[in-house]
Amino acid sequence: MPTITVIGSVNLDIVAKAARLPAPGETITDAELHHFPGGKGANQALAAQRLGADVSLIARVGEDGSADEALTLLREGGVDLANCIALPAAATGTALIAVAPSGENQIVVAPGANRLLHPDDFEPPATDALICQLEVPVDTVAHAAQTFGGFFCVNLAPAKRIDVAVLQRADLVVVNEIESAWYGNTLKACTGLIATTRGSGTATLEQDGEVIAEAAPPTVTAVDTTGAGDTFTAALTVALVEGQEPAEALRFACAAGAAATTKMGAQSSLPGRDEVENYA
């Protein structure tokens, strides 16, 4: 069982399931309202735990009611939250999400306490792997990358300017096709693997500018794509750290990501190992 630390965000997702996504300036009514635990860091932590890893999460939330709601599934799932600290003067991160019947979404995040996770708030973790994303300060991610000695994965989401040393240090960089276009030639600085997801299209794994593996996600009926990229990131890290070959690991990650789209919500839809192996 690999040990994994995730340094990242915790959000409460406030979700409106609507007949379609609004255009700028448009109001859509008659949506269904849901609250789900979310945040890219928290989603990746729980996804890795459900896939069999032993996971701890380093994060910041507010001392408010949203924190309890946001942390419920992580607690129930057994993720170590000893370093998930509630800060009295801060609000828990909140994501406002619109979801269309096709499963496509639009997300706006108010990071709140996630902004207050500072580089000197934690020691380098003693785990097999570390996963970071960009919903916490980029300086924090850069510090974690430079001080951690094991397998380091960075999911460059949401796209932000980041120290090139992070890309040079990463064993695995994960982007979707929008992020890949945003970073463009910057990704040439990567020395490890680059995984690119393309929704229901073929995902690739590249090294040194060469595609070394490709995998098409299994066909599923998507109801909500929120958290699919987080599930892919966690699953690929778990599989590579377990020693799976790149092509096998990519198939496993695609199956996990696809499975996560078949239910509403981010953490509420994260698949277990058996479910993923049935799809893969």
266 makes contact with ligand RIB (CB under 6 A):
yes
Instruction: Encode burial over 270-280: b for 16+ CB neighbours within 10 A, e otherwise.
Output: bbeeebbeebb
Q: Which of 139, 163, 230, 274 is catalytic?
A: 230
Helix (H, G, I), strand (E, B) or coil at 73: helix
Query: Other C-beta atoms within 10 Å of 52: how many?
Result: 14
39 binds ligand RIB (CB under 6 A): yes
What is the closest distance, in whole angstroms, from the C-beta atom of residue 143 to ligand RIB in the complex? Answer: 21
Q: Tell whether residue 230 is a contact of ligand RIB (CB under 6 A).
A: yes
Which one of residues 2, 8, 38, 192 is an interface residue with ligand RIB (CB under 6 A)? 38
Using the structure block, give the residue that is written with the tokens 């890893």: 53
What is the residue-wise DSSP string for 15-66?
EEE-SSPPPTT----SPEEEEEEE-HHHHHHHHHHHTT-EEEEEEEEESSHH
CA distance 218 to 209: 26
Report, in Å, the least distance between residue 161 CB and ligand RIB: 19
* Residue that has been written with the tokens 């229901």 in this structure: 200
Annotation marks residue 30 as catalytic: no
Which of 5, 8, 40, 240 is in the footprint of ligand RIB by CB under 6 A? 40
Instruction: Write the binding mask 119 to 148 for ligand RIB: x where contact by CB under 6 A, - elsewhere.
Output: ----------------x-------------
Identified binder of ligand RIB from the candidate list 46, 109, 156, 173, rule CB under 6 A: 109
Of the candidates 13, 42, 41, 17, the one whose C-alpha atom is nearest the C-alpha of residue 30 is 17
Q: Which C-beta is closer to ligand RIB: that of 11 or that of 180?
A: 11
Binding site for ligand RIB (CB under 6 A): 9, 11, 13, 38-40, 43, 95, 107, 109, 135, 226-227, 229-230, 266
**Catalytic residue set:** 230
